Structure 1
Amino acid sequence: MQNKLKLLGLLMLILPIFTLSEQQTDFKKSLKINGRIQYDYEFLKRSNSDQWLNGSEFRRIHLSAAGFVSPSFKYKVEFDFSTGKIGFRYVYIKYVNPKIGSIAIGSIPEPTGLAMLTSSNYLAFLERPMLTSLQNFRWGSGFLYENYNLLEGKVGLQMSLTNNGTNTQGFKDVNLEVGENFTARLFYRPYSDNSTHTFLHIGLNYAQRPYQDLKFRPENHLGDKYHYFFADATDRQIYGFELAATYQSFYIQSEYKSLEAVNSIDKNYNLQSYYIGTGYFLTGEHRPYKNGAFRRVKPIKDIDHGGLGAFELAFRYSNMTVSNDVLNINPIMPSQIDNFTFGLNWYLTSHVRLMYNYVLTNDQNNMLGDLNGHLFRLQLDF
C-alpha cells in the first residue's frame, strides 16, 4: 500500500510540471453532447426442451458530455440508465500531451484487449465474446496512462490502476487494502495501407486482480449465467494476445486469454478462453481502425441519400475451457463451452443500425441440449 501511495504522490507532482512546460495558445472551451440507445429482443431455447425464454430490454441507454477546458485538459461524463439505476461509465479528467501521452483520473475503460476497447456502438455482434468476462467490468475507477504516438504511431501503450468499487454506487471503494486492478496493454501496427483499407494489428495485454468468482453468459444477455468458484483463491493473473487485420471489405480478429487464480496454499487454478471472428461488407464498406480499436462504419450511400445503407455478414467462434482443478470444485459446471455466432448487420446510416445474431451454445454436460438464441437489436447513437 505504501508503494502505491508513493506512486500516486509522484504522479500528482509530475502532472503540473508537464502542464507548465506547454506553451499557451489561443483556446476556446468545447462541449459535445452524445448518447446511445440500444433496444434488444432475445429468444432463447434449449434443443431438447419445449420452453422458450423470450424477452426484451434496453441494453444500453447512455448520455454523455465531453470537451476541453484548456488545450491540455479534457473531460468526459457519461452515465448509463438501462438498469433503472444511474451507472457510471466515463467520468474522468484527462491531461493530454502529444509528446508524452495522456493521463486520465476517474472512471475509465481498463485496457484489456481489442474487443473490450471497441465501443459497443461499433461491435459487429450484439455481445462481446466470452473471454471479456475475465474482466470484472469494462470500466474501473482510478488512473489511466495511454500513448499512441510511439514509433511514429505504430506502437501504442496503455496502463491502468483501478479500484474495486461498484459503478452504480459511484465506484466508491473503502477497502483499498484488498488490492487494486493493474492492467497493461502494448500493441503494434506493423503494416497499414489506407488506399486498400488494409492493416495488421498485434497486441499483448496483462492484468492482475484481486480474486472474484467468474460469472458470465454465453454471448446473450437474458439467459442463465455460468458461475465458477475458485476455492481459497486470493488473486488472479490474466495474460492475453490479440491479432486483427482488414483488407478492403474483409476483416478478421482474434484474442486469447489465460487466467491463473492462486489460492492460499499455492495451488493454481487455470482457465483458457479464445475467439476468432470475421466479417465481410456486401456493399463495399470497410471496418475502420484507430488507436488499437475498431471504429465507426460509414455506409457508402445511406438511406438519407437514396441508398440502402451498408450490409455486413459476420461469424464468430469462441471457447471457454477450465482445468480439472476448477471442475473438481464446480462439478455441475461444464468443462468447456463453445459458442457459434452468425450475424447480419444493416447500417441504415452511420449512426443507426439493425442487428441480428443467431447464437448456438454447446456446453457439453447439459441434458437439455444446445442453447439456440435469436437476438435482435435496434441502435442509435448521436
Structure 2
Amino acid sequence: MIQKLFTKTLTTCGIFSILFGNILAQDLNDKSNIFFDEGKLTFQSKDKAFKLKLDNRIYTDLSFYLPTESVDGLSSKPNKDIEEDDGVFRFNNGVSIRRARFAIKATLYEKWFAELDVDFAYNEVELKDMYLGYKFNDHISIKAGHFKEPMSMERLTSSRYLTFNERPMPVEMFAGGRRMGTALTAWGNHWWLSGGVFGQQIDILQKEKNRGSDGYGFTGRVASAPINNDDFTLHFGGYASYRTPDANGTENRIVEFRTFPESRTDRRRFVRAEIANVNHYTTYGIEAAVKYKKLLAYGEYMFTSLSRFKEENNNKLQLKNAEFIGWYAAASYMILGEQKRYVPEDAEFAPMYQKRKGGCLEIAGRVSHVNLNDFHEISNPITGGAAYAYALNLNWYPVPNILLGLNYTFMDNDKYADDKGHITKDNQPLSKAMPNGLDFNILQMRLMLSF
C-alpha cells in the first residue's frame, strides 16, 4: 500500500513538474532565473508570472527517555501492530525519522498559487498541504484544499523555523491542524486577518463505508504588530474555533484530545482523552510576542469548552460543559547571529538573516502546561491527565539549510496521565499505583536538512 501511494505521489509530482517545466524551459538557460529563496531552490520565468519552488525537509532525531523512578512492574496495552508484544511497559530509545517531506510550491499566471506537500516519516505516507489559491492583490488571497486552520502562531509557523524540537503540548492538542476547507486572508504592514470554514482531516476514515458525514467548523485569527522594525517587534493576536465532531460510524459522535510529550521517538501519548456524546466544542486562544535585538519572548494561552450529553432511558440529558486549558511561555536568545525576523504576511517569526561565517547559535527555554481533567460534572468526570513540560534547547544553524540541535525536556505528569488507561501497574490504574504520576527526562539530538 505504501509503495503504491509513494509511486502515485511521485508520478503526480513528476507530471506536475514536467508540465510546469515546459512553461519555464525557454527561460532556464538564463541562470538568473534559478536561485535560492530563503534556502529553497526556485525556478522562475523571466516575466515572473510562473514560479516553482522546492521545500523538502528531513529531520532525524536521537532520543533517550530517563524515568525519575523505576518503571518495573508497569504494563502497557499490547500493540496490535507487533506480533509479539508482551505488554511490559518500555520506552523506545533510539533514532527516528521525524519528518521526511517532499513539497512543491507554484505560482501560476501571477495570481494563482498552489502547493503539494507529502510526508514519508515513520514509513507512512501522509498528505500535508494540498491546495489551490488566488491572490486578489498583494494583500488579499483565498485558498481551498487541505491546509492549516488559521489558529495559533506556533501552529502556523513552519516546522523548519521552530525553535524547539516539537510544538508545545497545548498547541498540539487544541490548535487544530490541517483540514479540508477554504479560507480568506488579508494583511497589512501592522495587521493580519484570516477566517474560513473547515471539514474533515484527510485520513483513512474517508475510505470507510457508512461512517456518516464530516463534522464542520469555523476558525478565525487576528493579529497586530503595532511596532515592527529591525531592533524591536511587538505582536499580539487571538483566535477562535467552533467545531462539531466528525462521524465515525456511530450515532453519537466522539472527540479525542491527545498530545505527545514534546518528543516523537516514543510514540506514546500520556495525556489523552476520548469523550463520547459530544454536541460541539469551541477553542479560544490569545498570543503575544516581543523581539528586542537578539532576544525573542513569546507565549499563548488556550481555553476549550466542550458541550456534551448522556443517554438515560432513551433520552438525551445535557451535561455541564467540560473545560480544558493549556498555555506555554518561551524565550530565545541568539548568542551568535541575528534573531528570527517578523513576517507581516504570515504574522509570525520565521527565518533569520545569516550575515556571518559560522552561522547562528541560539539558546532557548520553554515551559508548557496542559490540563485534560474536568470535574464540573461529578457524575461523569473526564480524566485525560495533566502535564507540565520544561525544555531547554541549544541550536546551531551553520548555514540556513541545516540545523544541529540539543534538547532537554523534563515531563511532569499527573496521576491521570496514563495514555487513556493503557498504562497500568499490578492491574491497577496509575492514579492509584503511582499517585505522583509517571515523570521522566528526555534527551534529544536533532539534525535537520532543508532544500
TM > 0.5 fold call:
yes
CA contact (8 A) 1:79 1:87 kept: yes
Q: Partner letter of residue 324 of structure 1? A: F
Match of 1:377 in 2: 446
Aligned equivalents of 1:176 and 1:146: distance in 2?
31
Percent identity over the alignment is 23
CA contact (8 A) 2:96 2:122 kept: no
2:341 pairs with one of 278, 288, 292: 288
User: Alignment partner of 1:213: what SS?
Assistant: strand
Match of 1:233 in 2: 278
1:73 pairs with one of 97, 109, 112: 112
Note if 1:204 corresponds to 2:254.
Answer: no
User: Alignment partner of 1:285: what SS?
Assistant: coil
Deviation, structure 1 residue 135: 3.9
**1:301-340 map, 5 Å:** 301=356, 307-321=357-371, 322-325=373-376, 333-334=384-385, 336-340=386-390
CA RMSD of the aligned region, Å? 2.6
Aligned equivalents of 1:172 and 1:207: distance in 2?
27
1:117 pairs with one of 149, 153, 156: 156
1:217 pairs with one of 232, 238, 260: 260
- CA gap 1:97/1:39 in 2 versus in 1, 3 angstroms: same
2:61 pairs with one of 27, 32, 40: 40
**1:242-261 map, 5 Å:** 242-261=287-306
Match of 2:99 in 1: 60
Structure 1: gaps spanning 5 or more residues: 1-25, 302-306
Q: Partner letter of residue 276 of structure 1? A: A
Aligned length: 347
List per-residue Cα deviations over 1:245-283 (Å, max 9, x = no partner): 100000001000000010131420000100000010111
Deviation, structure 1 residue 222: 3.1
Match of 1:279 in 2: 332
2:170 pairs with one of 119, 126, 131: 131
Aligned equivalents of 2:119 and 2:209: distance in 1?
20
Q: Partner letter of residue 333 of structure 2? A: Y
Aligned equivalents of 2:404 and 2:233: distance in 1?
27
- CA gap 1:294/1:175 in 2 versus in 1, 3 angstroms: farther
List per-residue Cα deviations over 1:132-154 (Å, max 9, x = no partner): 133475211110211112xxx21
Q: Partner letter of residue 206 of structure 1? A: A
Deviation, structure 1 residue 83: 3.2
- CA gap 1:138/1:231 in 2 versus in 1, 3 angstroms: closer
Bigger drift between 89-98 and 122-131 goes to 89-98
List per-residue Cα deviations over 1:357-379 (Å, max 9, x = no partner): 10101113263642110121100
Aligned equivalents of 2:106 and 2:192: distance in 1?
23
- CA gap 1:100/1:114 in 2 versus in 1, 3 angstroms: closer
1:300 pairs with one of 355, 362, 367: 355
CA contact (8 A) 1:88 1:170 kept: no
Deviation, structure 1 residue 236: 1.1
CA contact (8 A) 1:89 1:167 kept: no
Match of 2:126 in 1: 87
User: Alignment partner of 2:121: what SS?
Assistant: coil
Runs of 4+ in 1 over 4 A off after TM superposition: 167-178, 326-333
Aligned equivalents of 1:310 and 1:107: distance in 2?
34
Q: Partner letter of residue 58 of structure 2? A: I
Aligned equivalents of 1:69 and 1:332: distance in 2?
50
Aligned equivalents of 1:326 and 1:216: distance in 2?
23
Deviation, structure 1 residue 326: 7.6
- CA gap 1:74/1:332 in 2 versus in 1, 3 angstroms: closer
Deviation, structure 1 residue 200: 0.6
- CA gap 1:108/1:171 in 2 versus in 1, 3 angstroms: farther
Aligned equivalents of 2:444 and 2:320: distance in 1?
40
User: Alignment partner of 2:261: what SS?
Assistant: coil
**1:165-176 map, 5 Å:** 165-167=201-203
User: Alignment partner of 1:31: what SS?
Assistant: strand
User: Alignment partner of 1:288: what SS?
Assistant: strand
Match of 1:267 in 2: 320
Aligned equivalents of 1:133 and 1:173: distance in 2?
29
Aligned equivalents of 1:55 and 1:235: distance in 2?
40
- CA gap 1:92/1:113 in 2 versus in 1, 3 angstroms: same
Match of 1:343 in 2: 393
Deviation, structure 1 residue 72: 1.2
CA contact (8 A) 2:152 2:175 kept: no
Structure 2: gaps spanning 5 or more residues: 1-46, 72-89, 246-254, 310-317, 416-429
Match of 1:17 in 2: none
- CA gap 1:96/1:250 in 2 versus in 1, 3 angstroms: same
List per-residue Cα deviations over 1:71-123 (Å, max 9, x = no partner): 21111111111132321112111000226610101111111111101110000
**1:141-152 map, 5 Å:** 141-149=180-188
- CA gap 1:201/1:102 in 2 versus in 1, 3 angstroms: same
Aligned equivalents of 1:29 and 1:173: distance in 2?
41
- CA gap 1:71/1:229 in 2 versus in 1, 3 angstroms: same
Q: Partner letter of residue 281 of structure 1? A: M
CA contact (8 A) 1:85 1:168 kept: no
Aligned equivalents of 2:192 and 2:296: distance in 1?
21
Deviation, structure 1 residue 29: 2.1
Aligned equivalents of 2:91 and 2:124: distance in 1?
28
Q: Partner letter of residue 92 of structure 1? A: Y
